Structure 1
Amino acid sequence: MGSVSDRALAHMDSDDILTELLERICQGLSADTVAVLLLEPGGTELIATATKGIETEVRQGVRVPLGQGFAGKVAAEKHPVMLDRVDSTTVVNQLLWERGIQTLLGVPLLIGGQVIGVLHVGSLTSRRFTDDDVEFLQAAADRVALTVDAQQAQSARAAAAKLQRSLLPAQLPHVLSLDFAARYVPGGRSIVAGDWYDVFTLPNGWMGIVIGDVVGHDLPAAVVMGRLRSALRAYSLETTDPADVLTRLDRKAQHFEPGMMATVLYGTLEPNFDKLYLSSAGHLAPVLARPGAPAEFAKLPTDPPIGAVREARRQTTVVDLPPGTITCFYTDGLVERRHAPLDQGLEALRAAVDIEPSDKVCAHVMAKLIGEYVPEDDVALLAFRRQGPDEVGPLEVTVPAIPESLKDIRAAMRRWLSAVGVAGDVTGDLLLAVGEACTNSVEHAYGPAGGDVHLRIELRDDELVVTVRDDGRWRAARGKNRGRGLTLMQKCGDDVQVNRTEEGTTVMIRRRLEPEAKA
């Protein structure tokens, strides 16, 4: 009995313990084969996991239905079973009788009274296992069960941690005039959680911002979180209406994830970042701090969580985001405490949010609400700030010299002009002028090998200076009614200069700003 005790195996690494246990079981019972079969996650089949003497079981992925055959009976009845006739009428796994096994003894693997698998030994000769043999094998099974349970727990934690790291943004996007920061802390002793946040750009220039909380912890919650995150991203490509996206996400969850539940807050930002469209599926409202006003919670209806109610009606609320506004998304682990009212935590959060760079806001919030406290629930915090005009530097964009790049240039210009406070006719004039200059570079600067178009816009006092540059050699205009781009640029700008050299062409457009041109 001592050969399978904790003391006898204490010096070994955990990865080697199971192999050594099987060796010692074979020696202790003079058996020819020993096998460990574990219940699959669904709990309906036993899967060959570790063997000695008949390794083909593992290689071929042998499965035994619960309650059927020898091993299935051991698991279903939760007590030792001895078998002295091994054939197709008594054993599901044909490898055993093909190998010539004459006698089998099996015992259940139990953790907390629950079956997690079966341990059995076999003999190539007919024999009678004694009560001492049964006692020895059950003691070995208890040690095997502890080893397997520890290995599974360790593997699950490692897999969940890796999964979660792969699903959370490795780094938040760098977006002109937006400042992002985040914090993520699993609750209690868990190293993984079902909370997530995400930020992504959409093909039409909009941005998606999401935070969610899957009910549960550890690997199951992390797996569901990953599925919801991927599905939401896919639906966001079809519509910019957050309520529509959450409706589709809910329909998917109701069908493919029955029994799960999650709260989700999803928002979409207009390309110029003036407005944030929000929809809440049972999630707490974000905190908004606008210039010249105290922080407050966004006023939006809270619809049912994902997975809670079939065909739930969902709504979208529009929130104004003037320059300088900071917005905080968060999960309930940040504000909920077991022995304190929720309103108390929410008020502490509201008081902790001020107009500062997003990383400072996150640090201040975590210090005030978490501090030395070990949160019982998972905590996710995502903050973003729309920068003020005086914080926005020059716009610099480099894109391939192809027609498809022109929409990217226009989107970047709209965002930048809005961020520095330029409005009115100036925006339209500059979009037209820069569009002509970039189109000329696309059409005339490069041959089949292609190249890049470089754009830079800066604000110098009350004047905008735009530079469009390419590195190609100018080619004459093709076709009729061409060459009018320069005339359009001159009408849209106060001064236009074109400099062509062997290294490329540079177009500089200057436009003075009247007081009413700045928003």
Structure 2
Amino acid sequence: MDGNANRTRTTVLIVDDVPASRYALGAVLRRAGHRVVPVASASEALVELDVRLRAGSLPDVALIDVGLPDMSGFELCRLLKAQPPMSTLPVVHFSAAAVAPADRCEGLESGGEAYLTVPAEPEEIRAVVRAAVRAARTRSGAETLVRRLTLLSGIIVTVQAARNLTELADASAEGAARLTGGPAVVFVLGPDGELYYSTSKGRSAFAVPDSHAQEAVVRLIGQISKGRTGVFRTVVPAHLWPMGFFRPGVRDDARLVLTLTQDGRAPVCFATPLRIPRPGEPDDAELVGRLAQATALAAEPLLMYQVERHVALTLQHSFLPQPHRLPDLAGVDVVVRYVPASRQTEIGGDFYAALRTDDGVLTAVGDVVGHSLEAATVMVEMRHALRAHCVEESDPAVLADRLDRMLQRYHPEVTATVCLVHVDPATGRTRIANAGHIPPLIVRDSGNAEYAKAAGPLLGLGLGLPRQPPVELFLDPTDRLLMVTDGLIETRGVDLAVSMEELRTAAAEAPPGVSALCDTLLERFGGAPDDDIAMLALRLG
């Protein structure tokens, strides 16, 4: 008996209209440990294959007689090879009559893998069957590998497109599940110990059971990854792995695939339930390891961005005065609002200011163009420069010009928009200088609202043109003046003029009061902003 055939237990379909021949071939193959399925015609073979295809158990090889009563064995082979589900079935033709070289050539050209002249020695029959099955499995394995590598490539593209660490974990977990065919959890442990994790969608919603489980995972990943380089694989027994990660309320042995970012600071861990592949099944550990490496590479800039964003937000929060810490501005009621962009977006340079001058109150709202730590830093410099200059100068146009020259000298690659408003509380005289910003909106007590006709070029362009004198108007005690950055209303694909008109209409319909005006507009326009929002509203008081 052929020990190798016995271990693999291949199934052989024999298609022969001669009962004695079917019996003889079947006996040889059964003695070699094969399962044999005998049929007497091409039509019976097609019915048998259709039933097995529906059950997901096609034979491993088909031995087909050339001279069948309802169609030739060559025609049957062509028919099988033309159907995608059966095209991978290896076919061996045999015949006692069609033995000429032309017959062998036709058998190969019809898609057959081999040709037997019967009667043949049992050793030859067994060897031909083994060779046909081995070649088919090799070809199928190569095709499967190509499909899986193609799948991996697509998953890596999705992983690399992640905009933050949460999206990265989501894409990686879903990709690992597609590669392994089971649940997967991905953990990214930041250098500060913060844990980002996600699970594949093909199971119930995942959540770390409690803080102790989260601490256990962080501690376990840290211990396993300590001193490691490259990709490392290990198995964590169920009693050491927190319950419920793969199946709610159940403990499973976990197979971990870990790797580190290039700086060695942030471990990336893929966890899947331990599963021993059946004979012939591909081992997915290597592909998961490659996905883990791609995830670690994609995590590096996102982790750096998290640090940069934290620093920038700290700057913004430190240097933008909080509403309850605004200076005492006699004669003017001022409220401010600041909403940072959502975590999925970049850092902006939006700012506001409300300052006392010798002859009134100076307010400003601006935006340093760009999204980076540099933008936030330049924003801070502009606020300090404005605060210093307004001690001796209150003309908004002069102040705008000085800010312009400051940018050109110290930050020649940076541009910014700013709107400056100086108000004399005693008379209501208001002077406005606008450098590429949304102009102030004057909201009247009568229910009307209109933008001040103030415009001018951005700061930092270096055009060398003198700035126009400030636009002057007078505020009534019941008027409200609103200044905003474009993050409040700007929507991708929508003309800014359309958004400005929507803002004007909403402001005209807002309830009385400066706080109510800001809150109403934030509720209307400010949900989950793609950019920072700075708002300042004032009224003579």
Q: What TM-score bracket applies, with the shorter chain setting the length?
A: 0.3 to 0.5
More strand, by proportion: 1
Q: TM-score, normalised by structure 1?
A: 0.47
With the length of structure 2 as denominator, give the TM-score of the two structures: 0.45
**Higher normalized helix content (fraction of residues):** 2
